[in-house]
Amino acid sequence: MKKTLLLTLIILIYISTINAQNENLTEKWSSVFNTKNINGTFILFDISSGKSKVYNTARCDSAYMPASTFKILNSLISLETNAINSVDDTIKWNGVDYGWDKWNKNQTMRTAMPLSCVWFYQELARRVGIIDMQKWIDSVGYGNTKMGGQIDNFWLEGDLRISAKEQVEFIERLIKNELPFSVKNQELVKEIMVTDSTENYVLHSKTGWALRIENQIGWFVGYVETKDNTWIFALNLDIKTKEDSKWRKQITYEILKEEGIIN
């Protein structure tokens, strides 16, 4: 009996040690959030070491509406199902004023992704259809896999939920071309995700803002490639005022600079 208890204790200590190594709780990042009066989480995953650093672990494991970060998967599904033939195929603007001149024009996936053009991705989702969309979400195991809502808004106000930790896991599979899509399509989507490029690093990313719900959530997810490593990140935070949306990128850049990943 004593031997069994001792063995159990050793196993528990070992597991807790491994978890601590893989999720090095980084309270030093708290000032980055607290000085801005922002409640959120940030996870940074080092592909080379397989270890992650996390601020606000409980929130990191909690699932939220993906909002426009779902455009990454929507792009993959749309290309794979031939809802659109390439990232440079044009979908004509329907003439509706969407409140932003940059949206009020013809779009390709290459232009729509960085603009987070909602109408373009709604049209792609309608072309894919609810049956195939659900099939691919299930195949990927994206978040809770529950669509709910309508085919053209479920990621904005439906039942789909995903955690920051799951976002990182999804992006890691994309980086390694391990998602259930052709390598060609995975490479194309990674290409159109590039939002910042310098001599020292390339940033692939996507923002998200769940603003059709009462408790609004902001996202910034992606990865940074340097000459010798790749880091995946996911941030989400509460958006209480329109001004809070700017902190998605600013907090991420502050942490990446603090970690010496970008300069």
Residue 61 phi/psi, 5° resolution?
-90, -5
CB burial of residue 197 (10 Å; 0-12, 13-18, 19+): exposed
What is the residue whose two structure tokens read 């902190």? 247
Q: Residue 72's closest CA among 150, 7, 16, 143?
A: 143
CA distance 134 to 145: 8
CA distance 160 to 172: 20
Residue 156 pairs in a beta bridge with: none
Q: Which of 49, 52, 68, 75 is catalytic?
A: 68
Is 68 noted as a catalytic residue in this protein? yes
For residue 219, what are its two tokens?
């996202």
Residue 69, H or E segment: none
Number of Cβ within 10 Å of residue 203's Cβ equals: 21
Q: What is the DSSP string of 149-176?
A: S-TTTHHHHSS--EEHHHHHHHHHHHHT
CA distance 16 to 5: 16
As annotated, the active-site residues are: 68
